């Protein structure tokens, strides 16, 4: 019987620091259903964000995980086996204030290491940060070069999604 477990995605957003390749994107996680048959697909965003008060962890429900404000792309990286366990891991990760080089991508890389070490919250998965980061940067750069983010109407459509488990694009 086929599984209908939720999926874990890496999400890329513009960071506002376009002239620094390493800091060009804001990184986070999205959780959404396997089947995305409706116009709006509910899910959640889990990430750290920098505010005037410092870095904070944020977990928010989304009406449509396929198209959040300013989302550039989703990269499917895992089938979730135990969602509460996964969320507890993400909630428990340290949020570092004292290191000026610590940021959202540092948190995501650390999260992937903890998810891999746990071995129970996800099943089939690609958790290698170096591979994910290189692919995600290239994927968004190619979409940008092809003009995907130039039109306001394009930004209202479901965002490009790549499935790293099946090595294929799953939405335009």
Q: Name residue, tokens 């996680």.
A: 29
What CA–CA distances, in Å, run from 94 to 67, 118, 135? 28, 16, 26
State residue 3's pLDDT score. Answer: 66
Contact 81, 138 (CB under 8 A): no
Q: pLDDT tens for residues 101-139?
A: 999 999 999 999 999 999 999 999 999 999 999 999 999
Position 172 in a domain: no
Q: How many domains does the chain have?
A: 1
Domain that holds residue 75: 7-163
pLDDT band at 93 (very low <50, low <70, confident <90, very high): very high
User: Average of pLDDT values for 16-31?
Assistant: 84
Instruction: Specify if 168 maps to a domain.
Output: no
Question: Up-side HSE of residue 2: CA atoms within 13 Å toward CB?
Answer: 4
Does 26 map to a domain?
A: yes
The answer to whether residue 171 is domain-embedded is no
- Domain presence at residue 169: no
Q: Radius of gyration (Cα) for the chain, nearest Å?
A: 15
Domain contains 170: no
Global confidence as pTM: 0.93
Do 136 and 105 meet the contact criterion of CB atoms below 8 Å apart?
no
Report the range out of 66-75, 95-104, 110-119 with the highest average pLDDT.
110-119
Relative orientation angle of helices 104-118 and 129-145, to the nearest 10 degrees: 130
Q: Does some domain include residue 2?
A: no
Residue 146 falls inside a structural domain: yes
**Distance between CA atoms of residues 120 and 81, nearest Å:** 7
* CA dist 64 → 44, 72, 83, 92, 97 (Å): 9, 14, 18, 25, 31
> What is the rounded distance in angstroms from the CA atom of residue 108 to the CA atom of residue 82?
19
């Amino acid at each position: 019987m086929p599984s209908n477990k939720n999926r874990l995605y890496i999400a890329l957003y513009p960071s506002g620091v376009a002239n620094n390749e390493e800091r060009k994107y804001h990184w986070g996680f999205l959780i959404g259903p396997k089947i995305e048959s409706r116009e709006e697909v509910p899910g959640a965003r889990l990430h750290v964000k920098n505010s005037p008060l410092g870095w904070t962890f944020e977990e928010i429900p989304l009406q449509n995980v396929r198209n959040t404000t300013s989302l550039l792309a989703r990269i499917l990286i895992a089938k979730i086996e135990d969602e509460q366990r996964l969320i507890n891991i993400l909630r428990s990760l340290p949020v570092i204030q004292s290191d000026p080089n610590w940021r959202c991508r540092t948190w995501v890389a650390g999260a992937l290491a903890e998810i891999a070490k746990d071995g129970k919250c996800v099943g089939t998965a690609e958790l290698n940060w170096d591979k994910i980061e290189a692919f995600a940067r290239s994927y968004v750069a190619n979409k940008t070069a092809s003009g995907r983010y130039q039109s306001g109407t394009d930004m209202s459509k479901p965002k490009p999604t790549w499935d790293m488990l099946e090595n294929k694009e799953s939405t335009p």
